[in-house]
Structure 1
Amino acid sequence: MTDKQKILVVDDDLEMAEVLKDFLTEEGFAVFVANRGSDALKLAEEENFALAITDMKMPQMSGMQLLKKIKNIDPNIEVIMITAFGSIETAIEAVKQGAYHYITKPFKMNEILLTIRKALEKRNLQIENLELRNEIERKYSFFNIIGKSPAMQKVFEMIKVVSQNNSNVVIYGASGTGKELVAKAIHYNGKRKNRPFVPINCTAIPEGLLESELFGHAKGAFTGAVGSKQGLFEKANKGTLFLDEIGDMGLGLQAKLLRVLQDKVIRPVGSLQTINVDVRIIAATNKNLEEEVEKQRFREDLYYRLNVIPIHIPPLNERREDIPLLINHFLKKIEEEQGIKKEISDEAVRVLTTHDWKGNVRELENAIERAVMLSRKNILEPDDFQISESSSGFNFSYFLKQKLPLEDFEKKYIDAVLKEVGGNKQKAAEILGISSRTLYRKEKRYNISNKDKE
């Protein structure tokens, strides 16, 4: 037997409140009554209401004020306003503020029952969609790494296996693909999770300073070394050292790193003493280290020491099916961190999914955050993003995977060609191999607007 859905009735007219309570109780709802706004708020904090019915005009606290406060307690409560004929404008304003609907007095019980059922249906659908989105994110995420594509599922499997041993790992991927997230997932899912995770970007520090940063230095080791300093290897002892962009490390420092991997001992700059270290190395690069070895820019012996287990993260353009998941993840993240809730239209998702993301996941996240911060709309549309469909290009492989009908494919291709030539129909017709008249007919048939292409 399922629990009865709870309804809160708020009306300073005691007789009206009781009539509603009796009627809705007979219809199978659990009904609570409050005759003042303050009493209603107390009940809203104590009970999990699916819906509230409130009179618009009440002493001390109006229905509009109550609406705002109830929504602050639980945004998922649907609210139906009861109003006299003369205050319909106020009721319409209440709908704009988040009320589901309004009923004018006098009303029939069947009328309000129909409105209640529709409101509850909407609420239940929203909750189901939210639960589905959360379930999808749980299923296709791993330590904040999102992906349902076969390539990312393979990465997840590699993380699970690699995290249970101490082998050195090299993570390959373009800038913005999330290499450090993968490194953290390996560390925090493994045996060293309670020990330090120490990251360093090998390109962010000059070669001369990188050695002392990694191995530490003794007092007086060089000009400015007024005291001894612990290196990152020591700080990461018993934990993990993440060497980002290791492909840019100089050959001289590569030799010293190799000795540490072989002997598990470091010697701070300017010191004669050695220090034993137990550190797992996870390296990352956007370069092909095998090619760098052939070009003698990376030591072959270090390559084999590090490249015990390689993990390849695909660029975002090769896993477009993950983009809608990532969009929802970033919108939820912004809502949790900054308290700004936005939704996104299907058309905007389509535009973002076909866009050429050269900066990968990082660029996508920045684009979404920028749109959320600058847009005044509750639902983000394509024009809220500082990208155009022409920059998205016509991605043949993506549309092939979508198994679109021929008409949809033709429409998209014609649209892309028109944008490419700046709306010049003669040039577009030449590229498409059709007459200008045929192009005109197809534009009209597919409702292709030419305003934004010129």
Structure 2
Amino acid sequence: MSRILVVEDNIGIRNVLEKTLKMKGYDVFSVGTGENAVRLFTSDIFDLVITDLRLPKMDGLEVLKKVKKISSTTIVIIMTAYGTIENAIEAMKSGAYDYILKPFSLEEIEIKVEKALSQQRISNENIILKEEIKSRFGWITGKSQKAQKVYKFIKKVSDRPTPVLILGESGTGKELVAREIHENSSRRNFPFVAVNCAALAEGVLESELFGHERGAFTGAHAQKKGRFEIADKGTLFLDEIGDLPLNTQVKLLRFLQEKSFERVGGTNTLKVDARIIAATNKDLKEAIKNKSFREDLFYRLNVITMTLPPLRERREDIPELIDHFWSRYTKELHKDMAITPEVKDILYSYDWPGNIRELENAIERIIVLSEDKVVSIDDLPMELREGISDIIPKALPDNIGFTERVEYFERDIIKQALEKCSYNQIKTSERLKLNRGTLQYKMKKYNLYCKKISTKS
């Protein structure tokens, strides 16, 4: 529900506006002075402010400036008499969305309010969409060397017309990388069209990609443009290219060679300028051996190739990804929740076979299902809790003192880190953020040395 603040010193007009807008379903507050408006605005959130230009002491122009200073996204509509229209124009220059001349009809104010809030919703949705595109699988979040390598790849290939082949396990963010390539190219103002080649049956897929003519098959009652035409001057992203049927592979190969094709059931040759980015989690060389993927198509696609690393190979990015997704979903779900260091440790230590998508889904599920202000181990999905005994030290007897408890946990933490790093002291000290000399001292203190396997029979 949109929230509106009405600022009007004439109590009659103020009450009518408040009642009318409430009847339209808005959450409306009204005040009679600019001072009260600013005071209320600093402690509350409003989507739109309707203010009279002429107010005692603090006028509407000053209210506008203070509101915009506090919240640049809040819309302000100025009400003014005919004689002060020049001031209304000045208000527009200062950031007002619109002005309305007194006397006005209630229908006129309703239309202006509806239009303003509709435009605001579209603007907010565009911002959210752009953020989602940039952060959906987390490639924008990541400072590891492997993540940096991907960023450099995106910048290097973005403005080349050459096809790009993106390889990697499921959930590593192949579509996001494709979108980033598009967004960083000169094609950014034209369509980015994504097709999942594994999601459609062979006959449907060909029509979806290349379009069809009327009467081409049963049910083809009208001509239809395919994704290639829709992506003209933009980018066509073919996900799961390894599942593309052989007949369709022939048509794709021809397009890559000649930039031309025919619609299903058509004879006219069409030419479009669409850059192709393909992706797969399959071994295409193995598919070529099995005769399920054309070798000539592979070489056409395999000009510029990038293999995205799985999350377990860029583990140092996990804490940042956790914070990113935690912030995102607590805001989206309107939940004020905290995550404990123990839970973070478990999320960090898990191997995430489904990669960033699995991490994102796990965090969303935790936030949705948890009813507590602080998320505990009990709130974790079962597959994460199964390995807890390897991550969290077991409970200690009550008669053990504070120093012994600290030393026990310290030894356990160092032991786990050493095991994860195959007893490589440099990697372990980096992981624990410990000076190497301190690590060696602790290893000696707790007798933490890799036991060599005996070769004696």
TM-score category (smaller protein): 0.5 to 0.7
Written as runs of structure 1 = structure 2, the 5 A alignment for 1:155-170 is 155-170=150-165
Counterpart of 1:88 in structure 2 is none
Q: How far apart are the structure 2 equivalents of 1:338 and 1:46?
A: 24
Counterpart of 2:270 in structure 1 is 275
Tell me the CA shift for residue 345 of structure 1: 1.3
**Helix, strand or coil: the match of 1:319?**
helix
Counterpart of 2:101 in structure 1 is none
Q: 1:183 aligns with which of 156, 178, 193?
A: 178
Question: Percent identity between the aligned chains?
Answer: 49
Contact 1:356-1:392 within 8 A present in 2 as well = no
Matched, 1:151 2:146: yes
Tell me the CA shift for residue 46 of structure 1: 4.9
Counterpart of 1:231 in structure 2 is 226
Q: 2:288 aligns with which of 290, 293, 299?
A: 293
Counterpart of 2:297 in structure 1 is 302
**Helix, strand or coil: the match of 1:195?**
coil
RMSD: 3.2
Is the alpha carbon distance of 1:313 and 1:393 closer, same or farther for their aligned partners in structure 2, counting shifts above 3 Å? farther
Contact 1:143-1:185 within 8 A present in 2 as well = no
Unaligned runs of 5+ in 2: 1-34, 45-69, 72-130, 392-408, 420-445, 447-457
Counterpart of 2:386 in structure 1 is 390
| One-letter amino acid of the structure 1 residue matched with residue 361 of structure 2 | N
Q: How far apart are the structure 2 equivalents of 1:46 and 1:314?
A: 46
Tell me the CA shift for residue 291 of structure 1: 2.3
Matched, 1:408 2:401: no
Is the alpha carbon distance of 1:409 and 1:46 closer, same or farther for their aligned partners in structure 2, counting shifts above 3 Å? closer
Contact 2:210-2:262 within 8 A present in 1 as well = yes
**Helix, strand or coil: the match of 2:193?**
strand
Contact 1:251-1:297 within 8 A present in 2 as well = yes
Q: How far apart are the structure 2 equivalents of 1:314 and 1:394?
A: 25
* TM-score for both structures, normalised by structure 1: 0.57
Tell me the CA shift for residue 148 of structure 1: 1.5
| One-letter amino acid of the structure 2 residue matched with residue 390 of structure 1 | E
Q: Deviations over 1:249-289 (max 9, x none)?
A: 11121111100111101100111101111010000100121
Q: How far apart are the structure 1 equivalents of 2:192 and 2:168?
A: 20
259-268 vs 370-379, which moves further: 370-379
Tell me the CA shift for residue 379 of structure 1: 2.4
Is the alpha carbon distance of 1:142 and 1:367 closer, same or farther for their aligned partners in structure 2, counting shifts above 3 Å? closer
Q: How far apart are the structure 2 equivalents of 1:300 and 1:255?
A: 11
Q: How far apart are the structure 2 equivalents of 1:223 and 1:144?
A: 43
| One-letter amino acid of the structure 1 residue matched with residue 386 of structure 2 | S
Is the alpha carbon distance of 1:363 and 1:141 closer, same or farther for their aligned partners in structure 2, counting shifts above 3 Å? closer
**Helix, strand or coil: the match of 1:222?**
coil
Is the alpha carbon distance of 1:304 and 1:166 closer, same or farther for their aligned partners in structure 2, counting shifts above 3 Å? same
Contact 1:149-1:322 within 8 A present in 2 as well = yes
Tell me the CA shift for residue 378 of structure 1: 2.2
Q: Deviations over 1:392-418 (max 9, x none)?
A: 7869xxxxxxxx97643447899xxxx
Q: How far apart are the structure 2 equivalents of 1:154 and 1:144?
A: 14
Is the alpha carbon distance of 1:210 and 1:154 closer, same or farther for their aligned partners in structure 2, counting shifts above 3 Å? same
| One-letter amino acid of the structure 2 residue matched with residue 230 of structure 1 | K
Counterpart of 1:350 in structure 2 is 345
Q: Deviations over 1:220-253 (max 9, x none)?
A: 1111111111010000000000000000111121
Written as runs of structure 1 = structure 2, the 5 A alignment for 1:363-378 is 363-378=358-373
Tell me the CA shift for residue 339 of structure 1: 2.6
Contact 1:331-1:341 within 8 A present in 2 as well = no
Is the alpha carbon distance of 1:354 and 1:393 closer, same or farther for their aligned partners in structure 2, counting shifts above 3 Å? farther
Is the alpha carbon distance of 1:354 and 1:41 closer, same or farther for their aligned partners in structure 2, counting shifts above 3 Å? farther
Counterpart of 1:28 in structure 2 is none
| One-letter amino acid of the structure 2 residue matched with residue 299 of structure 1 | R
Tell me the CA shift for residue 175 of structure 1: 1.1
Q: How far apart are the structure 1 equivalents of 2:416 and 2:262?
A: 66
| One-letter amino acid of the structure 1 residue matched with residue 413 of structure 2 | D
Tell me the CA shift for residue 342 of structure 1: 2.4
Contact 2:187-2:233 within 8 A present in 1 as well = yes
Tell me the CA shift for residue 201 of structure 1: 0.2
Q: Deviations over 1:156-211 (max 9, x none)?
A: 11011111212110111111111111110100111100000000000110011111
Q: 2:193 aligns with which of 189, 193, 198?
A: 198
How many residue pairs get aligned? The number is 282
**Helix, strand or coil: the match of 2:353?**
coil
| One-letter amino acid of the structure 2 residue matched with residue 331 of structure 1 | W
Contact 1:198-1:232 within 8 A present in 2 as well = yes
Q: 2:256 aligns with which of 248, 257, 261?
A: 261
Is the alpha carbon distance of 1:161 and 1:413 closer, same or farther for their aligned partners in structure 2, counting shifts above 3 Å? closer
Is the alpha carbon distance of 1:156 and 1:393 closer, same or farther for their aligned partners in structure 2, counting shifts above 3 Å? farther
Contact 2:237-2:276 within 8 A present in 1 as well = yes
Is the alpha carbon distance of 1:332 and 1:411 closer, same or farther for their aligned partners in structure 2, counting shifts above 3 Å? closer
| One-letter amino acid of the structure 2 residue matched with residue 246 of structure 1 | I
**Helix, strand or coil: the match of 1:281?**
strand
Q: 1:171 aligns with which of 160, 166, 171?
A: 166
Tell me the CA shift for residue 40 of structure 1: 9.3
Contact 1:246-1:284 within 8 A present in 2 as well = yes
Q: How far apart are the structure 2 equivalents of 1:394 and 1:169?
A: 41
Contact 2:137-2:356 within 8 A present in 1 as well = no
Counterpart of 2:320 in structure 1 is 325
Counterpart of 2:242 in structure 1 is 247
| One-letter amino acid of the structure 2 residue matched with residue 165 of structure 1 | R
| One-letter amino acid of the structure 1 residue matched with residue 253 of structure 2 | L
Contact 1:142-1:156 within 8 A present in 2 as well = no
Unaligned runs of 5+ in 1: 1-38, 49-72, 75-136, 396-403, 415-441, 443-454
Q: How far apart are the structure 1 equivalents of 2:207 and 2:142?
A: 38
Contact 1:216-1:268 within 8 A present in 2 as well = yes
Q: How far apart are the structure 2 equivalents of 1:379 and 1:369?
A: 15
Counterpart of 1:7 in structure 2 is none
Counterpart of 1:315 in structure 2 is 310
